[in-house]
Amino acid sequence: MAVVSIPGGGEVDQLYAETRELRLQGFLLFLVSDVVLFSSFIFAYLYLRNSGQGWPPPGITRPSISLAAVNSAILFGSGATMHYALENFKRGNFLRYSSLMLWTILLGILFLCGQGIEYTTLYVQDHVSWAGSGIFGASFFTLTGMHGFHVFCGVCYLIVLLLQSVHGVYDKNKYFGLTAGTLYWHFVDVIWVVLFSIFYLI
Amino acid sequence: MSVIAEHGGIAEHIHPEPQGFVRKYIFSLDHKIIGIQYIITAFVFFVLAGCLAEIIRIQLMHANGGFVTANTYDEVYSIHGSAMVWLVIIPMLTGGFGNFVMPLQLGARDVAFPWLNMISFWIFPISGLMLFSSFLMGAPVAGWTEYPPMSLQGGAGTSMWCAAIFLVGVSSTLTGINFLVTMLKMRAPGMTFTRMPLFCWGQFATAPLLMIATTALAAALAALFMERQFGVPFYDPTKGGSPVLWQHMFWFYSHPAVYIMILPAFGIMSEVISVFSRKPIFGYRLIAFSSAAIALAGFMVWAHHMFTSGIAPYMQLPFMVLTFVIAVPTGVKIFSWLATMWGGKIHLTTSMLFALGFLVLFTFGGISGVFLAAIPFDLHVHGTYFIPAHLHFVLVGGSLMGIFSGMYYWFPKMTGRYLSEFWGRMHFALFVIGFLGTFLPMHWLGAEGMPRRVASYDPQFQGVNQLESLFSFIMTAAILIFFVNMLYSIRNGKRAGHNPWGARTLEWQIPSPPPYYNFKHIPSVFGLPYDFTEPLPYTHLEDELTDEPVTVGAH
Amino acid sequence: METNKPGRGFWVTTAILAVISIAGALYFWLMPSVQPWLPPEGGHPGDQVDWLFRFMASAAAVLYTFVVGYVIYFAIAYRRRRGDPPDALGVHVHDNTKLEIAWTVVPTLFVIVLSILSIKIWYVLQVQPTNGLVVESIGRQWYFTFRYPNVNGEVTDAMHLPVNMPVTLNLTSDDVIHSFWVPDMRLKADMIPGMINTIRFTPTRVGRYQIICTEFCGTGHSTMEKQTMVVQPMPAYLAWYHDWQQRNAHVSNAPPTVTSGTIALAGGNVAAGRALFSQKCSACHALGPFEQRIVGPGLRGVLHDASHPNLVDGDEATPADVAKILQNGFTGSMGHMPNQAQNGLSNKDIANLVAYLNTLK
């Protein structure tokens, strides 16, 4: 079986390189379709918001930006730690990689806790609920909830990846799972940028 | 850095043959078996949805109805439409024909993600069962389009409808991803895009639609489900929602969906007409690129289904004009197929007859579509029988004729046997006659004042409706003949060799049915497969038809 | 046929097809009336729609004649004949750039022309005069009502209009999406709850025209086509108009208010209940035994039928439970019964209906 060289100086057999390319493209297309899913709900939110009732609708208090800003920083921070985790793995620094992965996972969990606090505050203090607060509650909780669900799945996925890498499933030439995890985590970050802007900034 | 693009093809070896009945035929990873599974399942749902159609036609024989209650009638046409679109046409053309034929035509051993392919298939019959089970809990009544606020009411069946269509949408999306990666990365060495067969071009234009548009529908369905089950307001105007929002979200998918339903059929036309005219397809490049153009433009015209809904007038105009524009690449194809026939040595096989029927019937449907694109005319006929007239001309006269043509064409490859040509011609003749009698008068009914989705109607229309129902029975007879033909020919049909039609695409250069590994050696491609005067544009094919044993691990 | 150029048969066929298609085009263009293809036209700008129909039908006649004609001719002229060798091939032409350019450019030009014409006619629809009569119509399951200037409350049954006066028709719905269509006027708009859609037109022909709902709105959708638009000379219209002004003189002009809570049944007026039943219930309920179903069950014995001690929602057949089902509506195997709000019933209306039903045995 022929071998091909990969960036970084290693070598893998050709079949692995080719199937990796297939899997990478498939995974990217999956992320594209996930973007479409969010875009559809974002369209619904913007359409309803523009339907002339004024924003926020009467009787609704918008959540404050401060908690969300802190939460965003946490999430973006986890994106940075994820990036460097992968870089370290590629360079063979396993200890630094695993600690950065752990940081990413913890920051992700922290983000979810932050969202939980945000939801509880909205519900208990401002009486904003998913079904009982008109289109504001509907769009806010649906979109941020979908995003939170994606973060949750991402955290689970990262835990699995970390355990797999501890068991030696990946080496510095074959680590597609980690690449996919990183791409997914960055995707979750990008979606949050959009959601944060449309719910808190504008 | 792309490893694959440099040399083309995948360095994939021949795997060991799958063992056991379950691995071979139930939970198969083989795209050919999965394709046949899709076709069989889609035909089962076709029979069920067809029975629903006949309930509709029997009800409409009497102006005051009476065969079933109005509510049952509403359930029947809603499930008829939903099943035909999502459980018959789309899975048949993409999961069925796409799966079986496309990897073979590309010179590949399978699709990019066989496991995903198997999962995509098994979701399909489950979601179909879910859809039909909605009859037991108050099926949806507002048509396959389920506009709120109507769809916010009623029994649990509408929520089941949401879940079922969502699920089959997942199957579609995964198939789209699978096919797109397969066609981008797994073409045989030397098969550039401009040497790819036109059936694959049809699938290539369809795959992004499957992937992107279906997800938009998933969002709409999820929102409807959440509103029905949890009271989350998206569409209910009394809670701040908007019924028109549903229409935007639904049609943003459902218009590309109609191109999902026709582009693969266009691909079948290109193959069939060229082979049975014994000459190259005319205007290969224009046909290939027009498929891509139609797919792209298909995303930009959805609101032509909403001209009466009250969107701002100036915003309606671009949708009208762009819809007119789509007629151009479509017309180009029709003209190219006609030019392919000119000067040919035409074999009027059943497959070719259905292709000719497609040309006649689909063109009529396309023309009525142009009528509908003109806002002033649409304002008159929207919501009337003119719409079912148009949609059946393009979906039955187009997509279904394409499916029949493809079945008569590829049945020998799938089974090693011909379908009976005699009964095929009977099927064709009765079907076209029955179809015309059923759906042609509907244009007039609509323009004259018969609304759609009605269990009873003004008695002045009874005569025409009875005529349509009688002709629909002729269509049913034709379809029965087709099914008997298929069931009989699987075991008893005349044996076909590897290339009964003298075609030049790769699937015809290997045995019928193909072995599990497809090709003993992945061929190299150095030309278009449409020139019958040249030798076949492939190398490495010498052993395919011999008894040369295959070694596991060979490449 | 081994040459790369079309032969005599092709040109003869083309000439024949040209004659047929021109005949077809002329037929659609010059036919004195759009009947029998479309109903006789009743006003502006419906006549513009008919003009566009003629144009598109003429063009379609040309295109379709050629497509079908060539399909049939080629299938016959270029079929493989018995004497041909089994591997006989057709003329190997891959493409013809001039031809492909032609059949891309010509349809594009046609599309441009069609777009311009359609936009012009669309524009005429937008700029219809607004200085005439303003009428509203509200769609409900399963009937239309109308509101006129200086007439209290709603006009039920037919909608009258004076001939040759521009009309601005504002449309909405109280429950689900309906659609307002008068085929003879060629105009349609959806009636969507929470929105107002407007049609502007001028009826030019005296007559009675059917108003048809063209958006599925429930089990009674098929029956929502029984009302008429009556176009009359101005004196007759004014007589009708004044009659409704008087009839509704003491009716509140507010939309039917709906309250809920337990409904007081004492003092229900049987006569008022009878009138209400005829107006709002008889579309779906017959005054007959339970089995005499239109949509819902017959109601003659609803409160006094020993063989049906329970209502369809499972409650006992008592006045209070009948009031409750009128209040809340019900969806079951027979279909959907609208609730109090959707039916436009006040609490007093319900009391009256129950009193009336209680007299039926």
Average pLDDT over residues C41-59: 93
CB B501 within 8 A of CB B275: yes
**Nearest residue, CB atoms, B181 vs list A14, A26, A51:** A26
B vs C: CB pairs below 8 A:
282
Q: Assess if residue A90 is contained within a domain.
A: yes
- Report the distance separating Cα B9 and Cα B136, nearest Å: 50
- Contact list, B375 vs chain C (CB under 8 Å): 118, 122, 125
Q: Which chains touch A (3 or more CB pairs under 8 A)?
A: B
What is the number of other CB atoms lying within 10 angstroms of the CB of residue C84?
Answer: 12
pLDDT (average), residues C308-334: 82
Supply the pLDDT for residue B35.
98
Q: Is the pLDDT of residue B98 over 50?
A: yes
Mean pLDDT of C131-138: 93
Q: pLDDT tens-digit profile of B67-83?
A: 999 999 999 999 999 99
Q: Which positions ≥6 away from B273 have C-beta within 8 Å?
A: B281, B337, B340, B341, B352, B355
Reading the block at residue B122, the tokens are 């098994």
Q: Pick from B334, B282, B501: which is nearest to C4 by CA?
A: B282
C309 CB neighbour count, 10 Å cutoff = 9
User: How many angstroms away from the CA of C132 is the closest CA of chain B?
Assistant: 21
Q: CB burial class (10 A; 0-12, 13-18, 19+) of residue C4?
A: exposed
- Could you tell me the pLDDT band of residue C258, with boundaries at 50, 70 and 90? very low
Residue A97 belongs to some domain of the structure: yes
- A2 interaction partners in chain B (CB closer than 8 Å): 11
Is the CB of B4 less than 8 angstroms away from the CB of A138? no
In sequence order, what E strands does C56-162 have? 133-140, 143-147, 159-162
Residue with token string 């198997």: B118
Q: Which residues of B touch A (CB under 8 A)?
A: 1-4, 10-13, 112-113, 116, 173, 176-178, 180-181, 184-186, 211-212, 214-216, 218-220, 223, 226-227, 230-234, 239-242, 245, 248-249, 252
**What residues does C43 pair with on adjacent strands?**
C203
Output the furthest CA–CA distance in chain A (Å, rounded): 68
Mean pLDDT of C16-40: 94
Q: Which residues are paired to C155 by β-bridges?
A: C146
Is C71 close to B356, i.e. CB distance below 8 A? yes
The pLDDT of residue B132: 98
Distance, in angstroms, between B206 CA and closest chain C CA? 23
- Give the pLDDT mean for B56-74: 95
Q: What is the Cα–Cα distance from C294 to C297, expressed in whole angstroms?
A: 7
Question: Could you read off the pLDDT of B358-381 as tens digits, one per residue?
Answer: 999 999 999 999 999 999 999 999
CA distances in angstroms from C86 to A52, B258, B409, B504, listed in the order given: 72, 39, 18, 16
Cβ neighbour number for residue B416 with a 10 Å cutoff: 18
* Predicted confidence band of residue C260 (pLDDT cuts 50, 70, 90): low
Higher-confidence residue of A61 and C118: namely: C118
Total residue length of chain B: 555
Provide the pLDDT for residue B319. 97
pLDDT for A8: 67
B237-241, C207-211, C296-300: which is most confident: C207-211
Tell me if B284 sits within 8 A of B113, measured CB to CB: no
Residue among B5, B1, B2 at smallest CA distance from B187: B5
In this complex, do B320 and C118 lie within 8 Å of one another by their Cβ atoms? yes
β pairing state of C228-232 and C159-162: parallel
Q: Are C183 and C196 in contact (CB under 8 A)?
A: no
Q: Is the pLDDT of residue B555 over 70?
A: no
Residues B273-301 pLDDT 10s: 999 999 999 999 999 999 999 999 999 99
The H or E element that residue B331 is part of is helix B313-341
pLDDT value at position B394?
Answer: 98
pLDDT of res. C1: 42
Instruction: Supply the DSSP symbol for B17.
Output: P
Are the Cβ atoms of C212 and B449 closer than 8 angstroms? Answer: yes
On whether the CB atoms of residues C132 and C167 are closer than 8 A, the answer is yes
| pLDDT tens per residue across span B250-274 | 999 999 999 999 999 999 999 999 9
Q: Which residues on chain A are in Cβ contact (under 8 Å) with B219?
A: 37, 40-41, 44
- Cis peptide upstream of residue C149 (ω within 30 degrees of 0): no
pLDDT classification of C293: cutoffs 50, 70, 90: confident
Distances (CA, A) of C128 to C124, C125, C138, C182: 6, 6, 22, 17
C290 pLDDT band, cuts 50/70/90, is confident
**The pLDDT value given to residue C254:** 63
Does A15 reside within a domain? Answer: no
* pLDDT (tens digit per residue) in C186-224: 989 999 998 999 999 999 999 999 999 999 999 999 999
**DSSP category for residue C6:** -
Q: Are the Cβ atoms of B180 and A40 closer than 8 angstroms?
A: no
What single letter denotes the amino acid at residue C161? L
Q: Which of B463, B516, B536, B549 is nearest to B195 (CA)?
A: B536
Looking at the complex, report in whole angstroms how far the Cα of residue A48 sits from the nearest Cα belonging to chain B. 7
Residue B5: its H or E element: helix B3-7
Q: How far is B110 from chain C (nearest CA, A)?
A: 31
**B468-518 pLDDT, tens per residue?**
999 999 999 999 999 999 999 999 999 999 999 999 999 999 999 999 999
CB C75 within 8 A of CB B341: yes
Count the domains in chain A: 1
Is B380's CB within 8 Å of C70's CB?
Answer: no
- Give the residue from C262, C290, C125, C261 showing the smallest Cα distance to C198: C125
Tell me the C-alpha distance between B186 and B49, whole Å.
36
DSSP state of B515: P
Sole residue written with tokens 């893998």: A12
What's A115's domain CATH number? 1.20.120.80
Q: Are B37 and B62 in contact (CB under 8 A)?
A: no
Look over chain B and give the mean of its residue pLDDT values, rounded to a whole number.
Answer: 95
Cβ contacts of residue C6 below 8 Å, gap of 6+?
Answer: B342, B343
pLDDT, tens digit (0-9, with 9 covering 90-100), for B160-191 = 999 999 999 999 999 999 999 999 999 999 99
Counting runs of H as helices and runs of E as strands, what totals does chain C give?
A: 8, 13
Least confidently predicted of B121-125, B136-140, C181-185, C292-296:
C292-296
Give residue B321's identity as a one-letter amino acid code.
Answer: V
Residues C285 and C294 sit within 8 Å (Cβ to Cβ): yes
Token duo for residue B344: 């040919």
Q: Which chains touch B (3 or more CB pairs under 8 A)?
A: A, C
Give yes or no for residue C257 having a pLDDT over 60. Answer: no
CB contact under 8 A, A40 and B12: no
Average pLDDT over residues A120-144: 91
CB B117 within 8 A of CB B59: no
- Pick the more confident residue, A146 or A128: A146
The pLDDT assigned to C344 comes to 72
What local confidence, expressed as pLDDT, does residue C207 receive?
A: 96
Rounded Cα–Cα distance for residues B536 and B530 (Å): 9
What amino acid occupies position C255?
P
Q: Domain for residue A28, yes or no?
A: no
pLDDT of residue B478: 98
Domain range spanning residue A112? Answer: 41-201
Q: What is the pLDDT of residue A133?
A: 87
Q: Is C318 on the interface with B (CB under 8 A)?
A: no
Closest CA to A86 of A162, A21, A157: A162
The answer to whether the Cβ–Cβ distance between B370 and C56 falls below 8 Å is yes
Instruction: Summarize pLDDT for B379-409 with one digit per residue, the tens.
Output: 999 999 999 999 999 999 999 999 999 999 9
Q: Say yes or no for a CB contact (<8 Å) between C333 and B71.
A: yes
Dist CA B240 CA A134 (whole Å): 6
- CB contact under 8 Å between A51 and B226, yes or no, is no
Is the pLDDT at A142 greater than 60? The verdict is: yes
**Chain C: closest CA distance from residue B454 (Å):** 5
Q: Answer whether residue B11 shows pLDDT above 80.
A: no
pLDDT at residue number C156: 87
Map residue C171 onto helix, strand or coil: strand
> Would an 8 Å CB–CB cutoff place C27 in contact with chain B?
no
Q: What is the pLDDT of residue C23?
A: 97
For A38-42, B215-219, B256-260, B551-555, which range has the lowest pLDDT when averaged over its residues? B551-555
> Are B259 and B209 in contact, with CB atoms under 8 Å apart?
yes
Q: What is the mean pLDDT of residues B25-51?
A: 97
Question: Mean of the per-residue pLDDT values for chain C?
Answer: 89
Output the DSSP codes for C255-314.
Answer: PPP---SSPP-TT--HHHHHHHIIIIITTTB-SS-TT-BSSS---TTTTT-TT--B-TTS
In 3D, which of B253, B257, B229, B66 has the Cα closest to residue B161? B229
At B239, is the pLDDT very low, low, confident or very high (cuts 50, 70, 90)?
A: confident
Residue A88 forms part of a structural domain: yes
Predicted local distance difference test score (pLDDT) of residue C3? 62
Cβ contact, residue pair C79, B348, below 8 Å:
yes
| Residue recorded with tokens 């027979």 | C334
Residues of B in Cβ contact (< 8 Å) with A18? 3-4, 10-12, 185
Instruction: Measure CB to CB from residue C78 to each of B142, B346, B367 and give the nearest one.
Output: B346
Q: What is the Cα–Cα distance from B72 to B75, expressed in whole angstroms?
A: 5
Whether pLDDT at B6 is above 60: no
For C224, phi then psi, to 5°, come to -85, 55
What per-residue confidence (pLDDT) applies to B3? Answer: 62
CB contact under 8 A, C67 and B359: yes
> Does A188 reside within a domain?
yes
Q: Which residues contact B238 (CB under 8 A, 6 or more apart)?
A: C193, C194
**Interface pTM, i.e. ipTM:** 0.93
Strand C212-213, strand C207-210: pairing = unpaired
Å from C268 to nearest chain B CA? 31
C-alpha closest to that of B137 among B118, B110, B159, B122: B159
Tell if the CB–CB gap between B212 and A48 is shorter than 8 Å: no
DSSP state of B506: G
- Has residue A85 been placed in a domain? yes
pLDDT value of position A132: 87
DSSP state of A13: E
> Hey, how many other C-beta atoms are within 10 angstroms of the C-beta on C259?
10
